[in-house]
């Protein structure tokens, strides 16, 4: 059995951001302000003010996290590793996407699932070879990979759909599909 794909470790700020800790903390701190504000400006206006405050804090927290995420993704890409979601076409769980990491190697693709959106990698590594692109990329479902694309691959194990960022799919094509 091959070892885990081991992506670059996420820092505490990225983990807290992914778990929405900052947003939940902001909401928890602002809810007590809602009732006094409600008495002064009315329910709907106070609700709008609170929503704008939560949005502003979320944006402010996201600003330093975005470059951290990009740097981590770049480090993974140097090792031909990328985050994605995949499912085998025609499987009994047609709507279920397995979220995890894939590694592009010459002529084959390795995939290892993770627990939840932010969890650890678990289980064995699935290996797909004899990769051929089938059709054109399409927009990925938001539930599978937000702002991503989906490609369908013909493999030695049947058809597989892979949802990932456009940059990751380019990496895959460069490394795995250039031989085929």
Question: At which of 21, 46, 73 does a domain end?
Answer: 73
pLDDT band at residue 180, thresholds of 50, 70 and 90? very low
Q: How confident is the model over 82-121, as pLDDT tens digits?
A: 999 988 876 655 568 888 899 988 888 999 888 766 667 7
The answer to whether residue 24 is domain-embedded is yes
- The CA-to-CA distance between both ends of the chain, in Å, stands at 26
Residue 178: pLDDT band (50, 70, 90) is: low
> Over the chain, what is the mean pLDDT?
85
Share of the chain above pLDDT 70, in %: 91
Q: How many domains does the chain have?
A: 2
3-state helix, strand, coil in the chain (%, to 5): 40, 30, 30
Of 54, 77, 86, the residue nearest 160 (C-alpha): 86
- pLDDT for 94 equals 57
Contact 132, 153 (CB under 8 A): yes
Q: What percent of the chain has pLDDT over 90?
A: 23
Are residues 56 and 91 both part of a single domain?
A: no
Residue 173 pLDDT: 86
Give the domain-ending residue among 73, 98, 121: 73
CA pair distance 22, 102, nearest whole angstrom:
29
Judge whether residue 40 has pLDDT over 50: yes
pLDDT for position 166: 92
pLDDT at residue 145, as a whole number: 87
Do 144 and 162 lie in a common domain? yes
């Amino acid at each position: 059995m091959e070892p885990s794909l081991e992506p670059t470790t996420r820092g505490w700020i990225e983990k807290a951001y992914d778990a929405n800790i900052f947003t939940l903390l902001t909401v928890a701190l602002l809810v007590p302000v809602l009732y006094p504000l409600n008495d002064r400006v009315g329910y709907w206006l106070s609700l709008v003010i609170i929503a704008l405050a939560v949005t502003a804090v979320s944006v402010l927290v996201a600003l330093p996290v975005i470059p951290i995420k990009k740097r981590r993704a770049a480090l993974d890409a140097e090792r031909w590793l990328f985050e994605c979601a995949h499912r085998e076409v025609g499987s009994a769980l047609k709507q279920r996407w397995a979220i995890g990491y894939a590694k592009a190697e010459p002529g084959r693709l390795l995939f290892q699932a993770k627990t939840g959106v932010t969890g650890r990698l678990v289980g064995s590594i699935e290996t797909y070879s004899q990769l051929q692109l089938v059709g054109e990329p399409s927009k990925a479902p938001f539930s599978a990979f937000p702002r991503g694309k989906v490609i369908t691959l013909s493999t030695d194990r049947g058809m597989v759909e892979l949802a990932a960022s456009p940059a990751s799919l380019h990496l895959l094509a460069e490394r795995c599909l250039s031989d085929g």
